[in-house]
Amino acid sequence: MATVTMPPSEEARSVFKRLGYAIDGDGMEFIAERKWRRVLVTPVPETDAESPAELLEDEDASDYPRLRCFVTWNGSADKLKRYLRSTKPPYDWAIIGVDGEGDFEVVYPNSWA
């Protein structure tokens, strides 16, 4: 299993490719597109799941899709869900929990799931 202090970037890409999304972008964050959905995907390491404020602050949020998905390790998903619910971000969001084996679970879908 990958170290939980690293963001699950490759796992996030793998999940979205398996779900039939086209991937755009080479960095840690990327855009995933399928049909009408255009999603900004942000991998979140366990160390940032409880308070990922700097990951969520966008200088120009108008450039990003209204749908966001945060991908984190399974053990961190509930912490991230509590944080997002408490901050009430101005976009629709979901959380996918992953493990190092390639398995994933949609932990929290919001209105677009």
User: Which residue has 């960095």 as its token pair?
Assistant: 27
**Domains of the chain: total:** 1
Whether 70 is covered by a domain: the verdict is: yes
Distances (CA, A) of 10 to 31, 58, 82, 86: 14, 22, 24, 28
- How does pLDDT run across 16-63, given as a tens digit for each residue? 999 999 999 988 999 999 998 899 999 998 888 877 766 666 555 566
Domain of residue 13, residue span = 9-53+64-108
- How does pLDDT run across 3-24, given as a tens digit for each residue? 556 889 999 999 999 999 999 9
Whether 58 is covered by a domain: the verdict is: no
Whether 92 is covered by a domain: the verdict is: yes
Whether 59 is covered by a domain: the verdict is: no
- How does pLDDT run across 69-93, given as a tens digit for each residue? 999 999 999 999 999 988 888 888 9
Whether 1 is covered by a domain: the verdict is: no
